[in-house]
Amino acid sequence: MGKTRRTVLSAAAGGAGATLLAACGAAAPGEAPAAKSQGPVTIDWFVTGDSLSEESSRIIAKFQEKHPSVTPVPGFGGANNDTGYRAKLQTLVASDTAPDVFYLEWFVYPPYVVNGALGEIDTLAKRDKLPLGDLWPSFAKQFTYRGKLWALTSSMATMVTWYNADFFDQAGLKPPAKDTTWAQYLELAQKLTIRQGGEIQRFGTTFWRSLHQPPGAFMFMAGGRLFDRSEDPQGSTFHEPPEQEALAFLGDLVNKHRVAPTGPEESAAGGNSGDGAIFATGKAAMNMRNVVVNIWESRMKDFRWAAAPLPAGKAGQFSVANGHGQCLSATTKKRDAAWTFLGWFGNVEGQTVIAQNNTIPGLRSVAQKSYLSQPQYAGIKPVVLDSLESGRYFPNTTKTREALQVINPTMGQVFNGQITAREAGEKLRKEIDAILRGG
């Protein structure tokens, strides 16, 4: 391993974000396209989790129907967090034993580019005529850094408003829809909140609370920027009026209007991560979060549920769109075989397998044809795909992970009534700008 990459990876040991990014190394400028692999060969494919999922099994089986001489062998990194998958990948890269192909998220990959750990795939993708123009715009922008594309899509994520259709019928209310405003959403949440004495039996709404979830979308919808530029920003804008408006609105849902829970209240009601228990068990009537059709299918046996766009701000009605990628190692000794797998994965055939598991694929045409194709999803599918099409994306920077570790807890203090939106904005202006500028 080169001196620069080892040095940066060692320095990143205390922050898994920078570490992850070192795992997708760049190919040398002018490097010739890889030839097609020949002869039986196995490649290491590093994935999250502790065992082979049904989706990964289908991916391998479908791939080998067309490429029987290449066998992807999954390695498991455990939970997708700083002490699980991310830390294990960091160790593999730092020890010069990086897997041939591996998973990375949008907010952790740029350091891997800078450190030379990711294999450049533009030349190979264009040579093999992969439909790069069909990628969701946000994915193409999020995974393009310093002029090159560094991943093909593992999945896409966006935020919508899930709502309990039974509760709306019982209250005689029309559910949220296109062009529902923030004020109208608040009114719905107020009417759907059930109080008994000093206790709240059912919240009108809840929402995911990290920046790349509804809070970021609301800031964009208010006309905000979040950061001063889209690549390697040097300053944040959380203290500016649009970001303040969005943060205050969400904070007021919790603390002023009492139609959304504080963090402790949400945890006491079952939580909203993973299986979304607070919504699935009827303790919240609306839920602004990512797309989890399979979870609602398995959990919400007693309620009818549906989806609507996030409520519209003064700058428009849109969401966020976040990408998850599969990357090529710069140090792989099986580059031809690894690209054979990765190129297939990112093309129509591989993305179709992804879509058939109700996971959002990275190609728009595949999503239109194969994602949520069952009749019962006819009303949900356009909501999700429209949210992706207009979804805003976050800047590419080697400091994203470090910045989020300050931004998200600070916003949590607002949502829990500990500080005001203004106090949070000033705190973030000082601390995030120092991080972005390397202070």
Read off the pLDDT of residues 246-273 as tens digits, 9 standing for 90 and up.
999 999 999 999 999 999 999 999 999 9
Identify the pLDDT of residue 198: 85
Examine the domain organization and report whether 316 and 365 are in the same domain.
Answer: no
pLDDT over 90, % of the chain: 88
Which of 389, 406, 421 is at the close of a domain? 389
Whole-number Cα distances in Å, 39 to 69, 190, 409: 6, 65, 51
pLDDT, tens only, 331-369: 999 999 999 999 999 999 999 999 998 999 999 999 999
State whether residue 37 is helix, strand or coil: coil
> Could you tell me if 14 and 63 lie in one domain?
yes
Q: How many CB atoms lie within 10 A of CB 134?
A: 17
What one-letter code names the amino acid at 133?
G
DSSP-assigned beta bridge partners for residue 253: none
Q: Tell me the C-alpha distance between 322 and 107, whole Å.
A: 9
Please say whether the beta carbons of 212 and 322 come within 8 A.
yes
Please tell me the pTM assigned to this model.
Answer: 0.89
Residue 87 scores a pLDDT above 90? yes
- Please give the pLDDT value at position 12: 35
Say which DSSP state 6 is in.
H
Specify the range with the lowest mean pLDDT, choosing from 22-36, 79-93, 329-343: 22-36
* One domain, residues 77 and 107: yes
Q: Are 270 and 281 in contact (CB under 8 A)?
A: yes
Query: Are 174 and 253 in a shared domain?
Result: yes
Instruction: Say yes or no: 95 and 76 in one domain.
Output: yes
Of 374, 389, 404, the one marking the end of a domain is 389
Mean pLDDT of 42-66: 96
Q: What average pLDDT is seen over the chain?
A: 91
The whole-number pLDDT of residue 38 equals 57
> What integer pLDDT is reported at residue 13 of this predicted model?
36
User: Can you give the pLDDT at residue 439?
Assistant: 61
Per the model's pLDDT, the better-predicted residue between 231 and 357 turns out to be: 231
Decide: 259 and 253 in contact? Cβ < 8 Å.
yes
**How many Cβ atoms from other residues are within 10 Å of residue 275's Cβ?**
17
- Residue 15 DSSP one-character state: -
Q: Are residues 18 and 98 in the same domain?
A: yes
Distance, CA of 371 to CA of 385 (rounded, Å): 10
- Could you tell me if 305 and 329 lie in one domain? no
Pair 174, 290 in one domain: yes
User: 220 and 234 share a domain?
Assistant: yes
Closest C-alpha among 310, 293, 282 to residue 161: 310
Assess contact for 197 and 399: CB atoms under 8 A.
no
Total number of domains in the chain: 2
Over the stretch 184-224, which tens digit does the pLDDT of each residue have? Answer: 999 999 999 999 988 999 999 999 999 999 999 999 999 99
Domain at 372, CATH number: 3.40.190.10
Q: How confident is the model at residue 424 (pLDDT cuts 50, 70, 90)?
A: very high
Using only C-alpha atoms, the chain has a radius of gyration, in whole angstroms, of 22
- Rounded CA-CA distance 386/165 in Å is 21
List phi, psi (to 5°) of 305: -135, 155
Q: What is the pLDDT of residue 233?
A: 96
Domain with 8, as residue range(s), is: 3-157+322-389
d(CA 61, CA 68): 9
Judgement on whether residues 274 and 326 belong to the same structural domain of the protein: no
Amino acid identity at 348: V
Query: Where residue 240 falls among pLDDT bands split at 50, 70, 90?
Result: very high
What is the rounded average pLDDT of the residues 413-435?
A: 97
Q: For 120-160, how does the pLDDT look when each residue is reduced to its tens digit (9 = 90+)?
A: 999 999 999 999 999 999 999 999 999 999 999 999 999 99
Residue 281: exposure state from Cβ atoms within 10 A (0-12, 13-18, ≥19): middle
Statement to judge: residues 224 and 369 lie in one domain: no
Token digits of residue 213: 């979830």
- Return the structure tokens found at 408: 């998200």
Of 323, 324, 335, nearest to 99 by C-alpha is 335
- 11 pLDDT above the threshold of 50: no
**3-class secondary structure, 104:** strand
User: Is the same domain home to 371 and 412?
Assistant: no
φ, ψ for residue 423 (rounded to 5)? -60, -40
Q: Indicate if the pLDDT at residue 37 is higher than 70.
A: no
Report residue 438's pLDDT band, with 50, 70 and 90 as the boundaries: confident
pLDDT at residue number 39: 75
